Structure 1
Amino acid sequence: MSAPDVIEVLTEAGIYELRTFSGTRYLIDSRLGGSPRYARIPAETAPHMRLDADWHPLQRLECGPIAWADGDFLDRDMIDEEDTAEWCIRVGSSHRLWTTDPQLLHAPLTDKYFVTSTPCVALTVHDEIPAWVPAP
């Protein structure tokens, strides 16, 4: 395992773990060649959502500006709101992960579902899916 600060998910195939400030973990698996997939594993104290603890196609990934560094949140005047990216994960940023929601397939406006993480405090690259993650 290694601990990078930034990963380009579409160009660097692998299994990535984002550990967030809230303790929730997100796993992204981009090894399969097609669209990457993700699983959200909530911390015991975090809100639980109905699509948790299962793998879903990752249709879009948004990386927000860095808002956390050196073990603390940055003051608002230190955050560069323009510093956003797609298909990138990085320490210090919140991330929004999008998938199709099977319960909304016939919704009039959208069938998309997203989750927004608290800032990422650590990234880990795994050689295989960890045992504590549900099998895909």
Structure 2
Amino acid sequence: MKARQSTKIRELAEVLKSAGFVTLDEQAKALGLSRSTAWTIRKASHKASGLSASIINRMLAAPELPPLARTKILEYVEEKAAGLYGGSRSQRRKFAARLSIENLPVCAEAESTLVPKHNGITGANG
């Protein structure tokens, strides 16, 4: 499961490179993250639980995030919420609840479609 998760995160780094964000500084800015967090994503050397909901929220809120990178992030979210990367039902439910994405299938056992609203981020009032 960790290998699958690392592969998906590596795909995100590759999408950034193909979109012209080659340097670490460029990638960090595009993702809306610090250099050290961007480095972790670039190397897919995240902790065993993968990308946290707060990191995902920050990336989706980044104004310079390329559309294909947003798609990869949303794919990662769906797969993590569905349990493809492990985690108990309770852990997956908590992960999904912390996300600022509307219409997320909470702990769905089958494939589903994420329909982000307002660039994938909900407003301050929900």
Choose between structure 1 and 2: higher strand proportion. 1
TM-score of the aligned structures, taking structure 2 as reference length: 0.23
More RCO (CA 8 Å, sep 6+)? 1
Larger radius of gyration: 1
TM-score of the aligned structures, taking structure 1 as reference length: 0.22
Choose between structure 1 and 2: higher helix proportion. 2
